[in-house]
Homo-oligomer: A and B are copies of this chain.
């Protein structure tokens, strides 16, 4: 799937691997993330398949930059993927739930510590979403109006999910504290 994220970003503008990582961290990370090592290997594969081409930009005293540009074949592959409907919902993977489900013999304090830690982590993420709102809701050129609408829609889901998660953590901390 990462391949389509990379094609999608490079469809806006040519970029090197490092910049792609930053772009994802600042925009898609609440629904798709990747490590640099995977980005580099996937870019290489994509170039071998002819969906990208790269050029080297020489730099002094830093490694040269390899800048990737999407090809017509790449645009075709991206469009084909975008137009193909998803006929299933995303199967969830949530390690905290998995742990909690099997924690009946774990001490109450261990469970509460875990839940409170997650609460703190989600509270941090919730703050970062405020900053993201300023970006996606920023007025932009008319040719990016549709993009901005969709970016804001994905941000909105992320925000709602975090609100639910925080609320559930609060309720569950109370529940475990009083009933477990």
Q: Which residues of A contact B (CB under 8 A)?
A: 1, 4-5, 8, 11, 27-33, 78-79, 81-83, 85-106, 110, 113-114, 117-118, 121-122, 125, 144, 146-147, 149-151, 153-154, 156-158, 160-161, 164-165, 167-168, 171-172, 175-176, 179-180
Residues of chain B within 8 A (CB-CB) of A149 are 175-176, 179-180
Q: Which residue in B87, B150, B168, B171 is a CB contact (below 8 Å) of A104?
A: B150
Choose among B1, B102, B110, B118 the residue that contacts A4 (Cβ–Cβ < 8 A). Answer: B102
The one of B1, B105, B156, B160 in contact with A95, judged by C-beta atoms closer than 8 angstroms, is B1
Nearest-Cβ distance from residue A172 to partner chain B, whole angstroms: 5
Assess A98 versus B1: contact at CB under 8 Å? Given A103-B82, A114-B85.
Answer: yes
Q: Is the CB of B93 within 8 A of A90?
A: yes
B residues within 8 A CB of A104? 144, 146-147, 150
Copies of this protein in the assembly total: 2
The main secondary structure of chain A at its interface with chain B is helix
Chain B residues with CB under 8 Å of A165's CB are 157
Residues of chain B contacted by A122 (CB below 8 angstroms): 89
Partner of A150, one of B8, B27, B100, B153: B100
Smallest CB-CB separation from A151: which chain B residue? B101
Contacts of A105 in B (CB 8 A): 79, 146
> A31 touching B101 by the CB < 8 A rule?
yes
Contact between B101 and A82, CB atoms less than 8 A apart: no
Give min CB distance, A3 to chain B, whole Å: 11
